[in-house]
Chains A and B, each alone.
Chain A
Amino acid sequence: MALNPEPADAPVAPLACGRDPALLWDRAAEGVPLDAHERACPHCRAAHADARGLDAVVHRMAGQRIEPPDAVLDRVMSAVATELRPHELLALPSPHGPARVSTAAAAAVLRRAVDGMGGLRARSCRIDQQGVPGADPHAVDVRITVTARFGVDLASVTARVRRLVIAAGEQVLGLPVRRVDIDVVDLFGDDEA
């Protein structure tokens, strides 16, 4: 019968002197010098020598430059393009019969408009086209979160973003915007350009 001499996740056995060899190894890897006990103890010295002995080759391996070929991400993005969530669509007013745009594409248009305002970036952008009885069936509600550069006048941000989102919705997407909720969720500095 085969015995497993090394249970997968057994605790690390202490050295004969009682010290924890994993801790000793970590300290050796960090370059911490041996303490008085470790200098005198043959068990600790042997473990320390093992730890240091692997150092050089492990460093060389860690320093190897390994870059994935571009083809991998190209293939991934082709597959992603075929998996875009086509069921999330917005109906567009159109004299030529039903027209639709993907919600993700419409959100990208609104985010891009906000990104172009200077000092602001759109983060989340949710577009909801829930028909309300008696109202324009194409009208949308937009919830958008933005981050602002330090120093941007926050008092005016909400009004400016609201105007822009309404204009972009109507002019670029052709969708009447009924309601815009705006949250400034974060600030960024110039160093994060």
Chain B
Amino acid sequence: MVGGGAVTASRGADAPVPTGPVPPRAELDEATLVVRAQEGDARAFEVLARRHQPALYRLAVRVMGDRAEAEDALQEALLDAWRRIGRFRGESAFSTWMYRVVTNRCLDMLRRRPPLPVDRVADSAAPDSPERSAEVDAGMVALRRELRSLRAELRVCWVLRELEGLSYAEIAQITGASEDAVRGRIHRARVRLSEVMRPWR
């Protein structure tokens, strides 16, 4: 049993604290983990981060278009989340809040970076990685390149809708834009991508 020793240490003749098996943190429900993290429990935060980071990283990779930058964005965003989790009031799902933190961090990094040279665009998978060697998918390479040419606000909305499968309402919460604005951005992105991808159909 994990950690039972800590609780059995008893002084004098006091009745020992009864100890049963402690459920692993990874099995705790999200609401419990969020409250614990808000009260400064770093291990609870780690479980939350581990649970959500695949989706957050996917978003960052698609928005940044570059894995190294996406890793930086994810890392900074998770630290932002730890520092700000006390302000999460449950007005949205926790996953929505996390998407929002990552989105803000990505947009901030994009605003501050000079445009990447075009030849790095096709290389967002690491050279020689299984993904890359399996990727004889020219259509996907082209889509990734065109995605990068979209304005960041359009790209974020499109990725959240088409790749993460979120609703307009959730995307509005994440981006802070109105649902109508989100709808317009997604449509513009779709039209633009379908035009430039026509040769790949």
List residues of A whose CB falls within 8 A of some B CB. Answer: 6, 8-12, 21-22, 25, 50-51, 53-54, 56-58, 60-62, 64, 66-69, 72-73, 75-77, 79-81, 83-85, 88, 102-104, 107-109, 111-113, 115-118, 121-126, 145, 147, 164, 167-168, 170-172, 174, 186, 188, 192-193
Contacts A64-B131, A115-B23 given; does A107 touch B39 at CB 8 Å: yes
Listed by A's residue number, 29 A-B pairs whose Cβ atoms lie within 8 Å are A8-B181, A9-B178, A9-B185, A11-B184, A12-B187, A53-B201, A57-B140, A61-B140, A72-B74, A73-B46, A73-B53, A80-B79, A80-B82, A83-B83, A109-B7, A111-B41, A112-B3, A112-B6, A113-B17, A115-B23, A116-B20, A117-B18, A123-B35, A123-B36, A167-B16, A168-B7, A171-B10, A172-B17, A174-B11
Q: Tell me, in angstroms, the Cα distance from A121 to B32 when the chains sit together.
A: 8
Query: What residues of A have a CB within 8 angstroms of the CB of B71 in the complex?
Result: 68-69, 72
Q: Tell me, in angstroms, the Cα distance from A186 to B131 when the chains sit together.
A: 44
Q: With contacts A57-B197, A61-B143, A85-B40 known, what are 13 further pairs, Cβ within 8 A?
A: A8-B151, A56-B139, A58-B162, A66-B58, A68-B71, A72-B57, A72-B75, A77-B49, A84-B40, A107-B41, A123-B36, A126-B39, A167-B15
Beta-carbon contact of B75 and A75 below 8 Å: yes
- B22 within 8 Å of A (CB atoms): yes
Question: Do most interface residues of chain A lie in helix, strand or loop, or is the interface mixed?
Answer: helix
Contacts A80-B42, A107-B41, A112-B22 given; does A6 touch B144 at CB 8 Å: no
Q: Tell me, in angstroms, the Cα distance from A120 to B163 when the chains sit together.
A: 38
Q: How far is the CB of B73 from chain A (nearest CB, A)?
A: 10
Q: How far is the CB of B17 from chain A (nearest CB, A)?
A: 5
Query: What residues of B have a CB within 8 angstroms of the CB of A62 in the complex?
Result: 162-163, 165
Beta-carbon contact of A12 and B183 below 8 Å: yes
Q: Which residue of B lies closest to A62 (CB)?
A: B163
Beta-carbon contact of B194 and A147 below 8 Å: no
Beta-carbon contact of A171 and B17 below 8 Å: yes
Beta-carbon contact of A12 and B184 below 8 Å: yes
Q: How far is the CB of B29 from chain A (nearest CB, A)?
A: 6
Beta-carbon contact of B49 and A73 below 8 Å: yes
